[in-house]
A and B are shown apart, each in its own frame.
Chain A
Amino acid sequence: MSMRLVVKYTKGEKVKYISHLDFMRLVQRALRRAEIPVAYSKGFNPHPRLSFASALAVGTTSEGEYLEIILEKEMEPETLCHRMNEKLPEGIRFVKAVAIDDKAPSLMSVIERGEYLIHISGMPDEGLDAVSVIEDFLNQTEIFTIKKTKKGERHVDIRPMIHSIDIIAQHQDGITIKALLSTGSKANLRPEQLIEALLDFANISYSSELLVQIHRLDLYLFEDGKWATPVEME
């Protein structure tokens, strides 16, 4: 009997520069090392049936990434995590796995929100009142940014894709915020775009001193009238 699983995993500091494509290959190889009975696609060039909920930008760490996998044979979700954790590189951990229905829609199509921790340092010390800047920023009814596409530039209103911004800590030369943003196939706001708009709004120019570190906390979908992470699905 085949089995479909959703896995929550982390991507830490030591592996943050791995690209999405390279990450997929890495997981495939770890699956072979761990001797997980993964199902393969039919056809000329069989590949393991594995898909990822949402691509993570190079340089971003995360404690809430998700992938789904189809196994040829049934296996205890805990066993899968345990065996994979023995064969994954340092910095990547399978945290939790749950079995889901074969007919459930793909993870990629149901994810709607992403929560991020964003640490900005190396900001010029100009007595900036971060609380009011963020308040004013959010009080705008629309926030237009320029999105570069293959066809040229496009103006996009990102305000509807920002659901909340909370200040977690303020430091001498920076700030740590938590942001809940639209993430997924319906609407997607990359945290980098948010930071660009926010710094622009606060009249802070980019310098080589300025350092932005982004960490994804989790991904959410909307189910039965409430927000839940993919491993909380029934």
Chain B
Amino acid sequence: MDKKLLDRLIGQVEKPVRYMGNEYNMVIKDPNRVDIRFAFAFPDVYEVGMSHMGMKILYHMINDREDAYCERVFAPWPDMEQKMRENNIPMFALETKDPIKDFDIIGFTLQYELSYTNVLNILDLAQIPLTWQERSNDHPLIIAGGPCAYNVEPMADFFDLVVMGEGEEVTHELLDLYLDCKKQGLDRLEFLYRAANIEGVYVPRFYTVEYKEDGTISKIEPINERVPKTIRKRIIKDLDKVYYPETMVVPYMNIVHDRVMLEVFRGCTRGCRFCQAGMIYRPVRERTPKKLLELAERLIKNTGYEEISLSSLSTGDYSQLEKLVRELMARFKDKKVGLSLPSLRLDSFEKELADQVQEVRKTGLTFAPEAGSQRLRDVINKGITEDDLMGSVEDAFKSGWTTVKLYFMMGLPEETEEDLKGIGELARKIKDCYFNTVKEKGKKALRINISTSSFVPKPFTPFQWVAQNSMEELDRKQNFLQKELRIKNVQYSWSDSRASFLEAVFARGDRRLGKVIKKAWQKGCTFDGWAELFKFDTWMEAFEEEGIDPHFYANRQREINEVFPWDHIDVGVTKKYLWREYQKALKMELTEDCRLNCTGCGVSLLGEGICP
């Protein structure tokens, strides 16, 4: 490959640092002195992919092995893709700029459904056949992981194997097996049979799916007895002992999350019924403040970052949050290192904590009530009352915050017009609260940013049986909210209902969708998650041409006993529990936080004593 030409082309595109590499802490190895060349591929642009914590962990973890070299791959933006195709530059890894078609393994992380066409595009740019059927022993092994891997069926044709759950241990097991098979001269098929017997590894080709006349699934079965009937996700038992990087690649350009990320815990016990992460990442496992402080010290020293964020699904629920925040502030205040607390649930938000964070740097305040009325919040088991919310907002205003962001979902099960009106009422109450609390009119004006996303029913949640609102219905609701939220100081933004529709199709899709994804990509779809590049009409043509009805997947209410495309995957939480939660939702019955009382979700059966 002509690396001089590549360097020149990089200079001709928008944001060249996306393709430049050479960042501080980038790992440099001699590729000739390793046994495995691994490409960690994130199917989106650099600034999105570089913000992903899983990549940071696995990149440094694999590179700590002497026998492997892990490099990074991101989806080139269309301007770069065009240059690459015009000049016959194959998809390259950022570190060495070597073509990834010569690598041993390419591992994709599937973070969202609308990045699927980018996976195909990266493979094609790499000059690697898209499907496992077309690939030989000589092609790189194409694997995947990440949240969308739990129902990877729509992408089943494109991957050799898929990893379910947390990757720290299983990645090593896979690499060891790969080396072992390579040494023994075993072929791809034999490797896959052996891999399929590692817990957490799913090899789609070893399972067959049969369909009924109505299009639903009749059964999913292993093709023979060499592979297990169900695939159980992997979890790490002790977060203090598991690998966590003490260094991170420091990008040159502004990335989405440009700071040291400290993962304080995994899992969430709240049990919000729409939330897939809350179900699939169970159980809760915390890192100790001691470990986190150690990591923070090293990471700041090694990266020079000016900000630390505490990340998890619900950082406010961390049992030792106060202690941790106080310690972090004490240690880093003089170094001018700020602290940000994302994903704060407002019911656990404490004024004092907010004040402390504010001492160094002040960022916007975000709340996620998710629904506009108490009734609907009870349906989704978001155990927050209006009093909680107003109390937190008032405290925030007293402490000098003037910008408040509020996230809601529309199209939730059982939603009525009253619930949507509730969003407008809440906005007005917050506004009143501001003007009652802040007597002297400050220089800064109040800003209330309200955004809604459209509800997408996800696998492994109590709402996996539910029909998504039609696009027309979602649009009607957005129009309604636009009118309701025509209030001074209030800004409303919403998501594209067509993107949410496609997300819903693929979230609960099956293997028959693979050909649609391929067709849409052939017709030019990439970066579907980017509004400016999203080609909805092209997608609809692809469905039409392949004779597949997308509404079957998005807008159909399922029966209690329907066999789901992901039924052979065991995430710990049982289908029985999810159905029970769904029925409770319909009755507006709350389920309490399982830190207080076990609610019998099933995850405790995954291993001994792992639920706190």
Contacts from A to B (Cβ < 8 Å): 14-15, 17-19, 22-23, 25-26, 28-33, 40, 44-46, 48, 58-59, 87-91, 211
Contact = CB atoms under 8 A, between A and B. Distances in A.
A22 B253 contact: yes
B304 A29 contact: yes
Contacts of B207: none
Given A22-B17, A32-B335, A17 B304 contact: no
A59 B22 contact: no
Please name the 7 residue pairs, one residue from A and one from B, whose CB atoms are nearest each other, closest first. A29-B304, A33-B304, A32-B304, A17-B16, A89-B24, A14-B22, A22-B252
Contacts of A90: 22
Interface of B: 8, 10-11, 16-17, 20, 22-24, 250, 252-254, 300-306, 335-337, 361-362
Nearest to A38: B336
Contact of B252 (A18, A45, A59, A88): A18
A44 B362 CA distance: 9
Contacts of A91: 22
Given A14-B22, A29-B304, 5 more contacts: A14-B20, A15-B252, A17-B20, A33-B303, A40-B336
Contact of B17 (A17, A32, A45, A48): A17
Nearest to A91: B22
Nearest to A208: B12
21 contacts: A14-B22, A15-B22, A17-B10, A17-B16, A18-B20, A19-B17, A19-B253, A28-B306, A29-B24, A29-B306, A30-B24, A30-B304, A31-B304, A32-B304, A32-B306, A33-B304, A44-B362, A46-B336, A87-B304, A89-B22, A211-B8
A101 B120 CA distance: 60
Nearest to B258: A25
Contacts of B304: 28-33, 87
Contacts of B253: 19, 22
A60 B305 CA distance: 26
Nearest to B24: A89
Given A29-B250, A31-B304, A58 B16 contact: yes
Given A22-B254, A46-B336, A89-B24, A17 B306 contact: no
B339 to A, nearest CB: 15
Contacts of A19: 17, 253
Nearest to A33: B304
A88 B306 CA distance: 16
A88 B304 CA distance: 11
B22 A33 contact: no
A46 B337 CA distance: 11
B136 to A, nearest CB: 36
A91 B7 CA distance: 15
Contacts of B16: 17, 58-59
A65 to B, nearest CB: 16
A89 B26 CA distance: 9
A77 B257 CA distance: 34
Chain B CB within 10 A, most for which of A23, A32, A48, A87: A32
Contacts of A28: 304, 306
A9 to B, nearest CB: 15
B79 to A, nearest CB: 14
B511 to A, nearest CB: 42
Nearest to B335: A32
A87 B24 CA distance: 8
B361 A89 contact: no
B303 A45 contact: no
Contacts of A58: 11, 16
A17 B13 CA distance: 11
B137 to A, nearest CB: 36
Nearest to A46: B336
Contacts of B306: 28-29, 32
B3 to A, nearest CB: 12
Contacts of A48: 336
B302 A33 contact: yes
Nearest to A40: B336
B252 A26 contact: yes
A130 B302 CA distance: 51
Contacts of B361: 45
Contacts of A15: 20, 22, 252
Nearest to A18: B252
Contacts of A211: 8
A94 to B, nearest CB: 15
B386 to A, nearest CB: 33
A27 to B, nearest CB: 10
A125 B116 CA distance: 48
Contacts of B300: 32
A46 B361 CA distance: 9
A25 B23 CA distance: 13
A67 to B, nearest CB: 16
Contacts of A59: 11, 16
Contacts of A87: 24, 304
B72 to A, nearest CB: 16
B100 to A, nearest CB: 21
A85 to B, nearest CB: 13
Contacts of A25: 252, 254
